[in-house]
Amino acid sequence: MEIRELQVRTPDGRRLDIFDAGGAGQPVVLVHHGTPGARLPYQGWLEDAERKGIRLVGYSRPGYGGSTRLRGRSVSQTPDDVLAIADHLQISQLATWGYSGGGPAALSCAARLPGLVVAAATIASPAPSDAEGLDFLEGMGQGNIDEFKTLLAGEDAARAGYEEAASTPVSGVEEMIGSMSTLLSGPDLRATRDQLGEWLVALREEACSHGPDGWLDDDLAFVLPWGFDLSEIRVPLQLWQGQHDLMVPPGHGSWLARHLPDAEWHYLPDEGHLTPLLRRVPEIHGWLRDHF
């Protein structure tokens, strides 16, 4: 499958790094990456998209890679960038899915772009930080707890820690595993060593290639109001959540499932945060394709 890398200009003059894999006329599935992350797709997703005749598109959110920062952005602003991408690529309909920090982005597009988005799915999406009845940090690994607690002091106070993390090179899979030691459950550790590790290293490098802004702005957006209501979602929706998830614990997925009662809820008792990226994406692609 040919992968085209290009930049799209938004109406306010920003640049967005995107990838576009597949052909015109194929159903389009747009991927929202995790946190930190970038437009770099996992090879297995591309191969699956090619088998299914899907045109797979993705982009780096503002502040990641070569995408221009949008300081103070909220989750609800994501649809504006997706509209800019769709207009540039002349796409009139698409399905979308997001994993981890890309989950809220996919949900916002499902809520705000019903004329463009035909269906959506999330893997291990966080719930809103102000969700009633949810302890946002409960069940997270210590690394994520520390990361989110630094945000309570505000952007300026938190920046130093993000700058240090973004500027610290990760030379290989084992070093990556070491940096994520409190966040990797058994299933995720095996997946990182066996298949996902090299992609995660490359993803981290691309995400932080121009500094920590995307990572910092993502986390700030997660702890502020999202700017839309989940009740606005009317398109078909799937939610996927692993039981052994130390990055976005199962309580988040369960909360979303309770507040999105029309969504298909997939609870995965043997999986973690990363394993669904290996095992479940083909099912998600097939389900999304069927809604065109």
Provide the number of structural domains found in the chain: 1
Give how far the C-alpha of residue 61 lies from the chain's centroid of Cα atoms, to the nearest Å: 9
Q: How far is Cα 4 from Cα 18, in angstroms, rounded to an integer? A: 8
Q: Please give the residue range of the domain that contains residue 152.
A: 3-289
State yes or no: pLDDT of 150 exceeds 90: no
Please report the pLDDT score of residue 159 as a whole number: 93
Q: β-strands 264-272, 94-99: how paired?
A: unpaired
Give how far the C-alpha of residue 214 lies from the chain's centroid of Cα atoms, to the nearest Å: 12
pLDDT digits over 18-43, tens only?
Answer: 999 999 999 999 999 999 999 999 99
Please report the pLDDT score of residue 1 as a whole number: 80
Band the pLDDT of 182: cuts 50, 70, 90.
Answer: very high
Please report the pLDDT score of residue 2 as a whole number: 84
Q: Which amino acid is at 49?
A: A
Q: What is the CATH number of the domain that holds 148?
A: 3.40.50.1820
Q: β-strands 28-32, 55-59: how paired?
A: parallel
State yes or no: pLDDT of 288 exceeds 90: yes
Please report the pLDDT score of residue 149 as a whole number: 87
State yes or no: pLDDT of 271 exceeds 90: yes
pLDDT digits over 99-114, tens only?
Answer: 999 999 999 999 999 9
Please report the pLDDT score of residue 157 as a whole number: 86
**What are the φ/ψ torsions at residue 275 (nearest 5 degrees)?**
-60, -35
CA geometry: angle at 88 spanning 23 and 12, to 5°? 155
Please report the pLDDT score of residue 272 as a whole number: 98
Query: Using alpha carbons only, how large is the chain's radius of gyration in Å?
Result: 17
Query: In this structure, what token pair is assigned to residue 288?
Result: 């999304």
Quick one: what percent of the chain has pLDDT higher than 70?
Answer: 100
State yes or no: pLDDT of 151 exceeds 90: no
Please report the pLDDT score of residue 216 as a whole number: 96
Please report the pLDDT score of residue 206 as a whole number: 96
CA geometry: angle at 39 spanning 181 and 271, to 5°? 40
Please report the pLDDT score of residue 153 as a whole number: 78
Please report the pLDDT score of residue 243 as a whole number: 98
Band the pLDDT of 169: cuts 50, 70, 90.
Answer: confident
